[in-house]
Amino acid sequence: MDSHLAARTPPPLSPRKRPRQARAVVTVDAIFEATLQVLLAEGMRHLTTTRVAERAGVSVGTMYQYFPNKQALVYALNERSLETLADRIEATCRACHAAPVNRMVEALIETYWRAKTERPEVTRALYRSVAEMDNTALIESFAQRVDAATTEMLASATDATFTDLHIVNLTLVTVIFGTVRNAFERGVSDAVSHALKQQLLEMCLAYMQAAMA
């Protein structure tokens, strides 16, 4: 399935060279920022290499020194964004180490929800941008980091042990992430969004209660 993504001469998605000089780092950052800007202002449909370079204040040629093609650029942008998100989740997990389960669940929901909501257009633009790419590796890598962090957190809970920690953890994470995204896509109002978050929390708490050994 999805064979077409790879079938037609898999385009190299990894960056061409890492910026070595300070100047180059600045350039790459500018390119990332510009990509996001164009994505927000024009949509994936109108994200052209020319436009990105223009907005970044560099020449197309420069862009191509760092990214072998357009896809790689978008890919890298998403990678970066997911890494940031994973960082935040890991931080949350660390902060909740050896806390009661309820606090953990609440913190997790809160963190993820906020991360996705604080700049909704960005979230949406990124969601859209990877849609037609093989982002399996990205998701995979993100999922692994998150799973590791949350699993460890849950295992450290002071007030509970889970016979099936793994599946409970997976369920929790999948439900939370999926619900947020779906709420997002339905474009619910802030009020409803808030209520929904509350209900999600209650649902997860009820589940955890039931799942405790």
Distance from the first to the final alpha carbon of the chain? 39
Region for 5 from its dihedrals, namely left if φ exceeds 0, alpha if ψ lies in -120 to 50, beta otherwise = alpha
Q: Which of 6, 14, 17, 164 binds DNA (CB under 7 A)?
A: 17
Q: Should residue 61 be labelled a site residue for DNA when binding is judged by CB under 7 A? A: yes
Q: Which of 40, 64, 106, 122 binds DNA (CB under 7 A)?
A: 64
Restricted to residues 71-110, the positions that interact with DNA (CB under 7 A) are: 71
33 or 90: CB nearest DNA: 33
Q: Quote the least distance from Cβ 79 to DNA, whole Å.
A: 17
Q: Quote the least distance from Cβ 211 to a copy of itself, whole Å.
A: 8
Q: Quote the least distance from Cβ 168 to DNA, whole Å.
A: 44
Q: Which of 5, 40, 70, 203 binds DNA (CB under 7 A)?
A: 70
Binding-site string for DNA from residue 119 to residue 138, where x marks contact by CB under 7 A and - marks none: --------------------
Chain contacts with DNA (rule: CB under 7 A): 11, 17, 20-21, 23-24, 27, 45-50, 58-62, 64-65, 68-71
